[in-house]
Amino acid sequence: MQDRNTTVRIYAEWMFDGDDVVPGSGILLGVSGSHIAAVRAGANPEEADLQFSGCSVLPGLIDSHVHLCFSAGRTHAEVVEDLLKSDGDQLLQRAIKHAQQALKAGITTLRDCGGPTQVLLALRTLVNQGKLPGPEVLVSGSPITTPKGHLYYVGAPATGAEDVERRTDDLLEAGVDFVKLIVTGGNMTPESNRLGCQYSAEEIKRAVRCAERANRYIAAHVLNREGLRRAVLAGVRTLEHCSWRTGLVHHEFDEGLARLMRQQGQIASLTMSAPTWRKVWPEMGKLDPELFRDLEDRFASERQMIESGVRFILHTDAGVRQTPVGISLIYGLRAAQLELGLSSVECLRAVTGHAADALGLVDRGRLRVGQRADIVVVKGRPWQDLSALHEIRGVWCGGKRCV
């Protein structure tokens, strides 16, 4: 141990380090200021300031697609109504509340994928100035969409390549961390068509180039396979929802497209919002059966994609219908294990090490010396049973204990 700078030493029985379960037991983590100063196995509890027997440490979780200004109301219409009737102050208060809720579920990094730009920048500033304990928030601000397209009510409107480039520049100028581009219609906007596309591959490419010049990237909303194809051709980094939908209730995997995704290192960002929890939360199964009509097809195409070796991460899309920020990530991971045939370790990687890689966050996602001290302690071993994630015993965000 490099004790000199260590401000707190945490003992836990076991560790998942963001890549794998570390063999052996008796883990001692040294935290110095905002960073991890030491990691060691084979330690005794007496060596630590804080002892968590029967517990595991893991990196702070990353939910890479949420909407902190959305209310997670009962229906899509209710969520939109809650959004439109709230002023900037009310939305900021809601976003703050949701961010604090996330900490209680062990989430130390959130990527907000769309909401009013100024509200989200204000939230990010509060966290960065230390006025809120965390989690760290990455923001896209207003998503770029067509004038009556998906999420237009919080969108930055753009029609055609020139417009797309101008809006991308404006957002980057405002200081967003990445830009969200709405390539297809979406469920929350009845005026849009989720089977249709809003932008051509060429228009998407303009946004990609523009973001890359500023060292940023594009996250694209894609809810059908043609939109996915366009976003892949355009070189989009994270493919949100990454849907293989080819018809109303039909999804079909395409190996040629997957090959391109693998070659270009693109990331499928898969959505585990409330309707996907049907096997872990039976109440869900009593909801509108319409929601489940295409789930089998959806999961089948996603399983094929994962088996083909495409990089993927898991997110909640929290803030949308019935999907509160925070605990939804734990339900989502448990559902992903059952529905996508993933191991619990693969699920954990998708919200720690792999999520950090996907978002280009080199300072977190793994419990290593020099990384940000984003740490979660849970009772039990979540790689044996993911429901251990419900038993949070401590959360540190940038070295500060928040829970």
Question: For residue 170, which of 125, 243, 121, 132 has the smallest C-alpha distance?
Answer: 121
CB of 397 to Zn ion, least distance (A): 23
Rounded to the nearest whole angstrom, what is the least distance from the CB of residue 317 to Zn ion in the complex?
4
Nearest distance in Å: CB 173, Zn ion:
23
For residue 318, CA distances in Å to 333, 350, 367 come to: 13, 16, 26
How far apart CA 239 and CA 217 sit, in angstroms, is: 11
Cβ 96 to Zn ion, closest distance in Å? 19
Judged by beta carbon, residue 142 or residue 344, the one nearer Zn ion is 142
Considering only residues 317 to 336 of the shown chain, the ones binding Zn ion according to CB under 5 A are 317
E-strand ranges in 197-331 read 218-221, 238-240, 245-247, 250-251, 267-271, 311-315
Any bridge partners for residue 222, and if so which? none
Q: Which range of residues in 87-95, 107-115, 251-259, 346-354 is near Zn ion by CB under 5 A? A: 107-115
Closest CB 204 distance from Zn ion, rounded Å? 17
Which positions from 110 to 139 touch Zn ion by CB under 5 A, shown as an x/- string? ---x--------------------------
* Beta carbon nearer to Zn ion, 297 or 317: 317
Q: Tell me which residue of 228, 237, 219, 224 sits closest to 176, measured CA to CA.
A: 219
Cα–Cα dist 143/156, whole Å: 6
Structure tokens belonging to residue 46 = 């007496």
**Contacts with 314 (C-beta within 8 Å, 6 or more apart), sequence order:** 269, 270, 272, 332, 333, 336, 347, 350, 351, 355
Three-state DSSP class for 155? coil
Question: Are 367 and 63 contacting, i.e. CB atoms less than 8 angstroms apart?
Answer: no
Q: How many residues bind Zn ion (CB under 5 A)?
A: 2
Per-residue contact track with Zn ion, 139 to 178, x per CB under 5 A? Answer: ----------------------------------------
Read off the tokens for 324: 């509160």
Residue (302 or 317) nearer to Zn ion, CB: 317
Question: In a 10 Å sphere around its CB, with 0-12 CB exposed, 13-18 middle and 19+ buried, how is residue 283 labelled?
Answer: exposed
* Site stretch for Zn ion (CB under 5 A), options 73-81, 103-111, 139-147, 313-321: 313-321
* Nearest distance, CB of residue 25 and Zn ion, angstroms: 39
| Binding segment (CB under 5 A) for Zn ion, from list 93-101, 176-184, 204-212, 314-322 | 314-322
In the complex, minimum distance from the CB of residue 226 to Zn ion, in angstroms, rounded to a whole number: 19
Shortest Cβ contact with Zn ion: which residue? 317
Q: Which stretch binds Zn ion (CB under 5 A): 27-35, 191-199, 298-306, 311-319?
A: 311-319
**Binding region for Zn ion (CB under 5 A):** 113, 317
